[in-house]
Structure 1
């Protein structure tokens, strides 16, 4: 059985100097950290470098792993711990936006060793997922997979449901799928339950339209602007129906109107027309 420690030894990395770190935060939805690592590396690196307890040893290294939505433990890099200080007052976490004043802040440098396995190597972490920092010498983790590149499978349009704020962080493959289609979608206010039916037509794609909402919260829509006037809103987005890219805009508008009638989103929701 090939273990992660075997790879460290093959790369002449002193196993005793390495701590294994598995990132999975119950305050974030499953897979969110992996999405951040793939699509917002600076935010992930900042998240990883700030800890509430003194977990990393200066002069040693950490082997970073991230739990995916499917709970696979994927290798994201070997880092040297160069120094540590404390976060100044008023500091906030890059992903959680929580106050991190006084937390330990490490200077981490990505090492070249094992770089060929980043986003490809999957290990068996074991049952002790609560123990998210472990000494490599005590934990010879079995290697389950070395893939060409790991990315969670797109769930399909019927099962796609995500908070709107997560759209910029979706895996690249998912973004490409959503960029390739037009269709009808549903936004649901996560606090009030109000619904908004919209469509992506013309030169837009589902992904492009959703990005407009993610950027300004309303995408220029009157009903969503009114909702935003009551304070920042959080929406869940899903796909009601996809159409062929050659479908005329007039036909897409008819399908959109059908869904508005079906869901009563004009009478009880956020659709103004």
Structure 2
């Protein structure tokens, strides 16, 4: 099928037409529209599709009791993420390969779900839940992941019958829109959990940026000032915090990184010398009192 840049000239194309093109009966497909109620999870879920697909797919493996019952009736799920009030972004078509019942008290032992817990995902109070095994159908428009936008309005149910939903194709974007556009450097504010899920486009920017960053500990309202001008600049420094939780900083080692917020105080020229960058870092420490009352020990 031709890649559509302006769907208006085609008029009336629906997602069901794509299923028909691949010979997939509509009666075999559920449309699954993900729209988490937890704000933190809602923010990063689109990022996970490309940056941490294993985490996204872990999220998709568990559902409410009613949704479980319905999903098991059909061999395919077309997965979407809510984009705005009326539109949803296509993630992929998945075939149901089975699954198994597990005890509810083992919910957080499901691989990768613990990471989502830090983003506000709620557990279950049920005694048993069904853990689905899905496999993405890689022959079904894989190049349109994150690019295909369909009209799937919100409703009480996140699961819809394909044959009952006239999901019009709204747009097919040149590039994936699952990655939100990166904000201006002075508006960046990420949690430690979000550092593990940074979209690729954001990583490119952070790799280019040198400067002074700030870590705020929400548990004590104290801050830490640091500089990034070495290998991979801000990206390299923040990925070190992502991996260690403390970046080698003495006072941060005693803290829970889940309480940290990462932001940028000032960007500097790539030509600035290491000595000038260190001087700038010191001035920020003085202005923000992070030596006497914060988390800097030098």
Q: TM-score, normalised by structure 1?
A: 0.90
Counterpart CA distance in 2 for 1:263 and 1:99 is 39
Counterpart CA distance in 1 for 2:84 and 2:269 is 30
CA change 1:196–1:167 in 2 (3 A) is same
**Offset of residue 99 of structure 1:** 4.9
Counterpart CA distance in 1 for 2:162 and 2:89 is 16
Q: Which residue of 2 aligns with 1:119?
A: 146
1:90 to 97, 101, 106: 106
Query: Which secondary structure state, in structure 2, belongs to the residue aligned with residue 184 of structure 1?
Result: strand
Q: Which residue of 2 aligns with 1:50?
A: 62
**Offset of residue 59 of structure 1:** 4.4
Which string of whole-angstrom CA distances, capped at 9 and with x for unpartnered residues, describes residues 105-135 of structure 1? 112121122323222111222242x421111
Aligned length: 269
Counterpart CA distance in 2 for 1:209 and 1:261 is 22
Asked if 1 retains the 8 angstrom alpha-carbon contact of 2:213 and 2:227, the reply is: yes
1:60 matched to 2:86? The reply is: no
1:179 to 207, 221, 233: 207
1:40 matched to 2:60? The reply is: no
Q: How do 1:166-245 residues align onto structure 2 when only pairs under 5 Å count? A: 166-225=194-253, 227-228=254-255, 233-245=258-270
Which string of whole-angstrom CA distances, capped at 9 and with x for unpartnered residues, describes residues 64-87 of structure 1? 112359996211110111223212
Asked if 2 retains the 8 angstrom alpha-carbon contact of 1:199 and 1:253, the reply is: yes
Considering only aligned residues, what root-mean-square deviation do their CA atoms show, in Å? 2.2
Q: TM-score, normalised by structure 2?
A: 0.83
Q: Which residue of 1 aligns with 2:8?
A: none
Q: Which structure has the highest helix share of the two? A: 2
**Offset of residue 172 of structure 1:** 0.4
Q: Which residue of 2 aligns with 1:133?
A: 159
Query: Which secondary structure state, in structure 2, belongs to the residue aligned with residue 177 of structure 1?
Result: helix
Query: Which secondary structure state, in structure 2, belongs to the residue aligned with residue 106 of structure 1?
Result: strand
What stretches of structure 2 of length at least 5 have no aligned partner? 1-11
CA change 1:245–1:87 in 2 (3 A) is farther
